[in-house]
Amino acid sequence: MSAYPNAAAATTVTPSAPAASTDAAPAGADACCDGPLPVLGRDVTVPLVTGGEVTYAALDYAASAPALQRVWDDVAAYAPYYGSVHRGAGYLSQLSTDLFEQSRATVHEFLGCRPSDQVIFTRSTTDSLNLLAQVLPAGCQVFVFETEHHASLLPWRDARVTYLNAPRTPEQAVETLERALADREPYGPALVCVTGASNVTGELWPVRELAAAAHAHGARIVLDAAQLAPHHPVSVTELDVDWVAFSGHKLYAPFGSGVLAGRADWLQEAEPYLAGGGASRKVTRRVSGEGAGGVDVEWHTTAARHEAGSPNVIGVYSIASACRALTEAGFDRLVAREQELVRRVREGLADVPEVRILSLFGDDAPRVGVISFVVDGWNSSHFAAALSAEYGIGVRDGLFCAHPLVRTLLGSEPQEPGECGAPEAAPGERSLNAIRVSFGAGTPDEHVERFVGAVRELVTDGAKWQYRTEEGRCVPAV
């Protein structure tokens, strides 16, 4: 039992703690209506090259979602009580330790983890998957689709990796994995890595079916939920995955924290991801015998084993706050509203013949609020720059840290290499890039309506401004 019973919420840290801001309604207050959740930056205005200002339309949620106002208020209320975690005797250190561990319990519940699962706090999804790659048992075989984000495609390079071709249906994804697993060496550990929702197409992957296929062939599976967790409930137990990884900055929480949650055995049996304070339970000087003069270390077997150093307690608390906020708002309501926004954007883009939406599984595939496309006659960097400079709309252009997938989806799509902002191509290759629009729980209807109207206007009338390439980016010419 905690010595500080009021530490469960930052707004009630002590009787004299500052109350959370009342400028914005708490996340759950909108549960009975259809509006967006309050987020930071919703009233920010930006200048237009054509004159005047406009409220910024942040449509790059897949890169970093804006922080929920609720999360920011919780962090602000806790900040005066910040202290070192796990190793301080003072009141604030003890309180911060309680808050840190209660945040772990919140994330454990949010992810529907099994009782024995560990929740490890990291810097990001990338960090989480690199951690898991470092604890793989000797001889582990890894199976990963070429369609993965680089965070889940690249960490396994020191293992025996089988890269699977891009499937064109969910059923083909399962069949491809089953064939690969059936052909593997019939002994030793194996791991499958798969995304929950593509950061390029937004399409949902058949995670439960892939997990069943993995387990049927004696393999484990890790779910990259970076793009899934902000949009849909994720349950480790219901999906029957062995681990799940996600990032706070995509879950409406700032400060650069992430999560790896799942089975403890591989994590406990491996050397710590980082060596240092916090990971070590006992360190003694070796004074005799072989290796005299060195040190002997006894490592923790809890999550602390892979959390060396002073943890990002504010980042961790912000993740827990976001988990609570999304749960209280109700995922059914959030999903329904987001799907309406997806429908509006897809139908609006479909009305512009020059636009081609990128997809692996086809138009009817379920998806989250992530849509990538190309526009005939435009380089994607040029188009994205015009959306920003002339309409105050922020989207992403490029290959989205998923180069093999985007190259597969673009195929022979023409992109003029001499256009403004066109990325440099290797000798013998064409310049390829696409545009991505992404949105979520904090996106107002007006932002997607402005985006669809801007796409239609740019395609019909062209850009109103001249642009030039500067350090590889397309920018307005001064």
Token digits of residue 170: 């969910």
φ, ψ of residue 68 to 5 degrees: the values are -65, 140
| CA distance readout (Å), 417 to 30, 142, 402, 407 | 47, 37, 20, 15
- Angle separating helix axes 445-461 and 331-350, nearest 10 degrees: 10
Token digits of residue 189: 């550990």
Q: Quick check: 294 and 320 in contact, CB under 8 A?
A: no
Residue 30 CA to residue 405 CA, distance in Å, equals 37
- Angle separating helix axes 380-391 and 445-461, nearest 10 degrees: 120
Tokens 């066109």 label which residue?
Answer: 422
- Cα 335 from chain centroid? 17
Token digits of residue 295: 């040190």
Instruction: Count CB neighbours of 348 within 10 A.
Output: 17
Q: Quick check: 310 and 274 in contact, CB under 8 A?
A: no
Q: What element of type H or E holds 216? A: helix 207-216
Task: Name 107's bridge partners.
Answer: none
Least Cα distance to 318 among 228, 249, 233 occurs for 249
Q: Is 57 helix (H, G, I), strand (E, B) or coil?
A: strand
Q: What is the set of active-site residues? A: 401
B/e letters for 383-402, b = 16+ CB within 10 Å, e = fewer, are bbbbbbbbbbbbbbbbbbbb
Q: Quick check: 390 and 219 in contact, CB under 8 A?
A: no
Cβ neighbors of 272 (< 8 A, separation 6 or more) are 279, 299, 305, 306, 308
Q: DSSP secondary-structure letter at 327?
A: H
Token digits of residue 380: 């994607």
Residue 76 CA to residue 72 CA, distance in Å, equals 6
Least Cα distance to 457 among 327, 321, 345, 352 occurs for 352
Q: Taken in order 271, 277, 282, 288, is the CA torsion positive or negative?
A: positive
